[in-house]
Amino acid sequence: MNFIDAIKSAFRNYLNFSGRASRLEFWAFIIFALVAGNIITVLEGVIFHAGDLPEAGPLFAVGISIFLGPIASVFAALMIIPWVSVSTRRLHDIGRSGFWIYFGFIPPIGWLFMLIWLVREGDAGDNVYGPAPEADTPTVAA
């Protein structure tokens, strides 16, 4: 599975909260969402002149804007369900219940544990949540 296939897989399974997601699938989705969200926010700021708004301030110059216009807001709302889904399946890959995602709401210790869990290598082979994801299945050269 390559980067593009991993993003497609995350969106294909956006309502699937069972099974497992590989590290590649999770991080490809996160990178896509962050990059696309920043591009949309910057373009929307240029289109709607967010730089003229007092709340945008000097941060807008570096691409960080407090202004979330209608397009960026819709994009952010559309990314919530796939983010929860791929995060839940990623936690399943390391043998944890998807309910551990709530632990991430406890700053900063929850964030640290979630980061450690999400970068950790998944369980080898099958676990209680299903077979190993495609990206984690080793390929055998003939």
| Domain-embedded: residue 107 | yes
pLDDT digits (tens, 9 = 90+) for 39-72: 998 888 777 765 555 554 444 444 454 557 788 8
Number of domains the chain contains: 1
Handedness of CA 105, 96, 31, 11 (dihedral sign): negative
How far is the C-alpha of 137 from the C-alpha of 125, rounded, in Å? Answer: 8
| Domain-embedded: residue 141 | no
> Does the model's pTM come out above 0.85?
no
| Domain-embedded: residue 46 | yes
For 87, the domain range is: 3-136
| Domain-embedded: residue 85 | yes
| Domain-embedded: residue 76 | yes
pLDDT digits (tens, 9 = 90+) for 70-94: 888 889 999 999 999 999 999 999 9
pLDDT of 142 strictly over 70? no
| Domain-embedded: residue 69 | yes
Residues near 51 by beta carbon (within 8 Å), at least 6 away in sequence:
45, 60, 61
Give the dihedral of Cα atoms 97, 32, 108, 128; nearest 10 deg: 10
Closest Cα partner for 98 from 85, 116, 115? Answer: 85
How far is the C-alpha of 35 from the C-alpha of 42, rounded, in Å? Answer: 11
| Domain-embedded: residue 119 | yes
Closest Cα partner for 28 from 53, 5, 52, 62? Answer: 5
Residue that is written with structure tokens 């949540």 in the block: 129
pLDDT at 1: 82
| Domain-embedded: residue 142 | no
